Amino acid sequence: MNRLRELRKAQKLTQIQIQMKIGIDQSDYSKIENGTRYMTFEQCKRLAVALDTSMDYLAGLTDEKQAYARKQ
């Protein structure tokens, strides 16, 4: 997924740093980022929070990168 790669690089994070933030194996994250594996709902939610975006943006449903207001 190019969106994941773009967001990760914009925040100057490595694949290892992002996978540590969301709690999955680096090879699994790499496969998700390259589009050879689908992410689960929970992984998508964690990625959206870690990358400060919305799940809709990660899923390609919107071009708006900005995250929705989150509950505290």
> Helix/strand/coil (H, E, C) string of 9-71?
HHCCCCHHHHHHHHCCCHHHHHHHHHCCCCCCHHHHHHHHHHCCCCHHHHHCCCCCCCCCCCC
Whether 68 maps to a domain, the answer reads no
Whether 72 maps to a domain, the answer reads no
Whether 66 maps to a domain, the answer reads no
**CATH code, domain with 11:** 1.10.260.40
pTM: predicted TM-score of the whole model, two decimal places: 0.85
CB-side exposure of 59: number of CA atoms within 13 Å? 9
Whether 67 maps to a domain, the answer reads no
Domain count, the chain: 1
Closest CA to 50 of 13, 2, 3: 13
Whether 65 maps to a domain, the answer reads no
Range of the domain at 18: 2-59
User: What pLDDT, in 10s, does the model give residues 18-66?
Assistant: 999 999 998 999 999 999 999 999 999 999 999 999 999 999 999 988 8
